[in-house]
């Protein structure tokens, strides 16, 4: 571990998005035992112009990404220890940076018995340095909440219908037991959905409906698209001038 830390490179490439806040890239090259190659892990460094807010945001990103494994350690050390030989990809995108609001997502992939990719969706007030909840962005208690859940249920129903069609496809290698198991997983995802994860974009809000299936059926992961144009939900928005 000492050898890796002493050869670490800190390369800050400007990745600006909008006028309010600058996002730099911390590039951490590590030798990955799983791939037997050197890989570059790319981590966002937020610079709002306020050092205290920067510290709050950057530490929160690091702690959420690493499941708070190393809360008191620097970012570069934490990422290296977290990655070790299991993480083979780490990158990020800034999707919204306007009016004191920052929205980004971090894409990662790790390998053990299987390789799994995932995305963390993170949203912040760059004026306070605090993480934003969905309920601080949009009203989630009334008609809009009802619409989201109705849209979610409708799309899951459509996905179940598509799943049923696989039973009649001779090339799908999909039997009744496989159908019942997958259908049950769909039901679990549909019923466990709650309003938490979200992302902001220049013209719309996206509610994230996560559904993690066992590796043997990852290819059947349902696609649930809950995107809402700001103009269509302006009566429910608590943050004005999003677009």
Residues 6+ apart with CB under 8 A from 89: 39, 107, 108, 109, 117
Give one word for 129, left, alpha or beta, with left for phi > 0 and alpha for psi -120 to 50: left
Q: How confident is the model at residue 31 (pLDDT cuts 50, 70, 90)?
A: confident
State how far the alpha carbon of 197 is from the alpha carbons of 55, 72, 158, 225, in Å: 22, 26, 22, 13
CB 215, CB 228: distance < 8 Å: no
Using a pLDDT cut of 90, give the percent of the chain over it: 76
Is the Cβ–Cβ distance between 69 and 82 less than 8 Å?
A: yes
- How far, in Å, CA of 54 to CA of 41, rounded? 20
Instruction: Domains for the chain: give ranges and CATH numbers.
Output: 2-132 (3.30.565.40), 137-233 (no CATH)
Residue 59 confidence (pLDDT) above 50: yes
What is the per-residue pLDDT for 169?
87
> pLDDT category, 114, cuts 50, 70, 90?
confident
Percent of the chain with pLDDT over 70: 91
SS3 assignment for 38-70 = EEEEEEEEEECCCHHHHHHHHHHHHHHHCCCCC
Please write the tens of the pLDDT for every residue from 176-227: 999 999 999 999 999 999 999 999 999 999 999 999 999 899 999 999 999 9
pLDDT, residue 123, reads 98
Specify whether the CB–CB gap between 237 and 227 falls below 8 A: no
Closest C-alpha among 64, 91, 56, 97 to residue 200: 97
Q: Where do the H-state alpha helices sit in the chain?
A: 2-6, 51-65, 75-83, 134-137, 143-165, 176-192
Rounded to whole angstroms, the Cα distance separating 231 from 235 reads 9
When comparing pLDDT for 67 and 36, which is higher?
Answer: 67
pLDDT at 11 over 70: no
Distance CA 87, CA 80 (A): 10
pLDDT value of position 20: 67
Is the pLDDT at 88 greater than 50? The verdict is yes
Taking all residues of the chain, what is their mean pLDDT, rounded to a whole number?
89
């Amino acid at each position: 571990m000492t050898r890796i830390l002493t050869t670490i490179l800190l390369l800050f490439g400007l990745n600006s998005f909008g006028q309010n806040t600058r996002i730099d890239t911390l590039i951490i090259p590590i030798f990955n035992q799983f791939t037997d190659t050197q890989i570059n892990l790319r981590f966002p460094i937020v610079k709002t112009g306020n050092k205290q807010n920067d510290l709050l945001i950057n530490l929160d990103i690091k702690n959420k990404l690493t499941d708070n494994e190393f809360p008191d350690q620097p970012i570069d050390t934490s990422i290296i220890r977290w990655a070790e030989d299991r993480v083979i990809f780490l990158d990020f995108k800034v999707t919204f940076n306007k009016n004191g609001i920052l929205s980004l997502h971090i894409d990662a992939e790790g390998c053990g018995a299987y390789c799994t990719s995932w995305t963390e969706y993170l949203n912040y007030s760059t004026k306070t340095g605090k993480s934003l909840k969905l309920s601080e962005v949009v009203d989630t208690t009334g008609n809009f909440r009802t619409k989201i859940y109705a849209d979610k249920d409708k799309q899951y129903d459509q996905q179940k219908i598509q799943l049923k069609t696989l039973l009649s496809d001779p090339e799908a290698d999909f039997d009744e037991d496989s159908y019942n198991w997958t259908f049950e997983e769909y039901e679990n995802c549909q019923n466990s959905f709650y309003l938490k994860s979200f992302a902001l974009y220049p013209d719309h809000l996206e509610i994230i409906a996560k559904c993690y299936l066992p590796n043997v059926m990852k290819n059947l992961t349902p696609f649930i698209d809950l995107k809402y144009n700001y103009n269509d939900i302006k009566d429910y928005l608590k943050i004005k001038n999003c677009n």
